[in-house]
Amino acid sequence: MAGIELYAPRTERHRRTWTAAAIVLTLAFIILGQVPAGIALMAAGIPLQPGVSWTGDTLLLSIFGCSALLFFLWVWVFERRGLATIGFNSDFLKRYVRGLALGLAFSGAVIGGIFALGGYRIENAGFWAAPSLSLFIPIVAIFLGFVIQGATEEIAMRGYLMQIIASRHGMYWGVGVTTFLFSGLHALNLKPSNELYMGLANIVLVGIFFGLYAIKERSLWGVCAWHTAWNWFLGVGFGVEVSGQHLDAKPIVVDLMQTDVPWWITGGAFGPEGSVITTAVLLAGIAWQVSQGALKQGQGFATPTYLEGDETAQKF
C-alpha cells in the first residue's frame, strides 16, 4: 500500500525527505526545539520540573512550540509544501471540537473505570466547590500549554513523519514506525519499573489509535484536540499523573488519590496511562476506528506516477 498521501495531494514542486533522514530530523527537531528554550527558563530561575508551579508547568508545555516551528520551516522552505500536506487542512472547527469531546470522553471513561474498581478515593472537592479567578487562571493556562504540547507531538509524529513514511512505504509502516518512536519518547518519564513498561505499552496503543484517527479523518485537527483534551482532563480534571508527571493546578471535577489496590489498576506512579483500564479503552477505540474503515483501501491520495519516478522531487 505504498504511495499514499494522507492529507493532501502532492504536486510536482513538492520534495520528499528520505525516510531515514526524516526519522533523524524528527528526533533532532524535537530536541533542538526545546533545549534553547529550556536553557532560557533555567537562566530565568524557572524550575524544569513539573508540578512545582502552574506558571512553570505552562511554560514547560509551551516550549514544545519551538519544535513545531522547526517542522513548519522544514516543510515550507525545504520540502516546498503547505501545512495542508501535514494535516492542517479543512473543517478546523468541526474536527477540533469533535476531537476535544472524544478526548474528554476517553479520559473520563478511564477515570470512571478505575474509580469503579476502587482505585481512587476523593481527597478534596474540585474547583467548582469554591470557584475563583486565581484558581481559574492556572486551569486555562495549562490547557493552552497542552494545546501547544499536544499539537507539537502530533505535528512531529502523525503530521510529518507518518505522512513521509506512508508516502513511500504505505500506511502500515507509517503507523508502526511512528507508534514505537512515540512510545520511546516517553521512556525517560520514570525510572525503569512495571508501571513504566505498562505505560509505554499503552502509549503504543495510543500511537496506533492516533494514527488510525488521522488516517480516517485525513486531517491532524482532531488528533491534536484529542491529545490535548486527554492530557489536560487527566491532570487538571482529576489531579492525577499524566505520563508520570503531576501538575500544579486545582482539579476541576474532583481531587482524586490512589488507594491501596494493585498498581496495574491505577497505573501506579505513571498514572492512569499505565492502567489496564486504559488498555481496554484504547483497544475499544482502535477497534472502533478499524470498524469505521480507517484501514480500507482508498484512504488518502495516491502518489502521482510522475513523482514516483522523479528522484529530485522525492528525495533529500
pTM for this model (two decimals): 0.91
pLDDT at 306: 40
Q: Quote the domain boundaries for residue 30.
A: 4-314
pLDDT at 74: 98
What is the pLDDT at residue 302?
53
pLDDT of 296 reads: 78
Helix (H/G/I), strand (E/B), else coil: 125: strand
* Residues 256-285: tens digit of each pLDDT: 999 999 999 999 999 999 999 999 999 999
pLDDT for the residue 73: 97
Mean pLDDT value across residues 42-67: 86
Tens digit of each residue's pLDDT (9 = 90 or more) over 101-118? 999 999 999 999 999 999
Write down the mean pLDDT value for the chain: 91
Q: What is the DSSP string of 39-71?
A: HHHHHTT--SSTTS-HHHHHHHHHTHHHHHHHH
Q: What angle do CA 273, 157, 172 make, to 5 degrees?
A: 95
Q: What is the pLDDT of residue 303?
A: 52
Taking the C-alpha atoms of residue 7 and residue 288, their distance in angstroms, rounded to an integer, is: 21
Contact 130, 180 (CB under 8 A): no
C-alpha of 186 from chain center: 11
Q: Structurally, how many domains does the chain consist of?
A: 1
Nearest to 264 by CA among 250, 254, 278: 278
